[in-house]
Structure 1
Amino acid sequence: MSEKLNKKTLDQNINKLELELQKLKSKKKNIRRKEIEHKKFVLGGLVAKYFSVDVDLEFIEDLLKQASEQLNGTNKRINEENLNSNDIAWKDLE
C-alpha cells in the first residue's frame, strides 16, 4: 500500500515538474523573442541614425514648405467656405 502511495506521489511530483519545465521553456522562448525584437529595434534605430544623415536637408525643407503651402491653401479654402456659409445664414435671418 505504501509503495502505491509513494509511486502515486512520485508520479504527481513528476507531472508537476514536467508542467513547470514546460512553463519555463515557454518563458525562455518569450524572453528570447523579446531579446530579438529589442535587438531589431536597436539595430533599426542605429541604421536610421547613421544612414539618415545622408538625407539632403534641402529636400526635407522643400517637402515641409510644400506641405505648409498645401495646409495654408486648405485653411484659406475652409475659411472662405465658412465666411460664405455665414453670409448665407445671415441673409436667411434677415
Structure 2
Amino acid sequence: LGYEGLKINGKQVQLVNLADNTKEDWEFDRIVCAVGYHQNDTIDISEVDSVKKTYVVGDNRNPRDIMQALYEGMMVAYDLADSFIK
C-alpha cells in the first residue's frame, strides 16, 4: 500500500504516509490480523462469500516478531469487540 503507519478506531482506519505526511481514511466491514510464512502476496478468500473488499496491511515475508504481532492483533480485536458490547 505504500503507507508506513495506521490507526484503527472502530471500523475507521487511518493510513499514514510518514514520508510526505499524508493521511487517508478508509472504512472496513472487517479487520483481520494474520501472520505466517506463506511466501506469497495473496490471500485465498474463495470460501468467504460475504467479503466485499479485502485490504491487506502487513509484511508476511518478514515474520520476525510473530508473537508481538499476534498480541497486538488480538488486543485490537478485543478493543473492537469491547466497543460493540458497551
Tell me the TM-score normalized by structure 1.
Answer: 0.24
Higher RCO (CA-CA < 8 Å; seq separation 6+): 2
